[in-house]
Structure 1
């Protein structure tokens, strides 16, 4: 037989209930964090892939028109594959040294892809989805052949 407790109440069996309650309270934010970081990582990989592949396509194209056509096709494929938001994807192409025409033979092209990731389960109410969005940017550099466009 157990001696009576001074408080007069029986706490036997409440530890499991407390563990479950605290576990759920801590587990829900942890699961959300994993989902949000997964979405950000997916968009980051998509932006990096887009920048890298577009830089290669532009550098290997025979002329500017073909480079533009192929880069559009690559960007569309990557947007589809990685689930990027088409409206927020921004592609910038720059040359170093700065040239009149970019891309040009012998130049180094810098492709920058920028997009924003909207966090999951954030409502569009009062623009919360836009204010909590995370900006992701990736760059790729590729050297263009000195014989580019000579064909």
Structure 2
């Protein structure tokens, strides 16, 4: 007969650690993804509102830059990694135009935590995140 006393605790600790480490990593990764998602959505929403409320295109551009920079800082997003696009319906050469329906899209990539920047692993292990907002531009936009 073999003596198995004390091996249950060791097995429990081993299996617990093997299951606990991936679970903690998953929770941290999902939290980071959620933070970046909320940041992209907030940036799109606030940028659309800042552009729609601006009196002219120059003010809209200045306020838009400040809004995106502020949101990126608040949510811990790399400002240089944000891709912002503004489109209008109906499609025109300039956007925004008075009376148009403006769609603002903010996109970025969220690198997974603890992935080393070796051989491009950090770029390969990143999650695309995007936020979109739609805002109606006043018919009097740019005339004030």
Q: Where does residue 47 of structure 2 map in the other structure?
A: 54
Unaligned runs of 5+ in 2: none
Q: Where does residue 4 of structure 1 map in the other structure?
A: none
**Is 1:124 aligned to 2:78, yes or no?**
no
Q: Displacement of 1:80 after TM fit?
A: 0.7
Q: Where does residue 5 of structure 1 map in the other structure?
A: none
- After TM superposition, the score normalised by the length of structure 1 is 0.93
Structure with max Cα Rg? 1
Q: Extract structure 1 runs of 4+ deviating beyond 6 A.
A: none
Give the secondary structure class of the aligned counterpart of 1:116.
strand
Unaligned runs of 5+ in 1: 1-7
Quote the Cα distance in structure 2 between the aligned partners of 1:100 and 1:82. Answer: 33
Q: Where does residue 149 of structure 1 map in the other structure?
A: 142
Count of equivalent residues? 144
**Is 1:93 aligned to 2:79, yes or no?**
no
- After TM superposition, the score normalised by the length of structure 2 is 0.98
Quote the Cα distance in structure 1 between the aligned partners of 2:114 and 2:29. Answer: 9
Q: Where does residue 130 of structure 2 map in the other structure?
A: 137
Matches within 5 A, 1:99-118: 99-118=92-111
**Corresponding residue to 1:68 among 57, 61, 64:** 61
Q: Displacement of 1:16 after TM fit?
A: 1.1
> What CA deviation, in whole Å up to 9, does each residue of 1:11-33 have, x standing for no partner?
12211110011001100000000
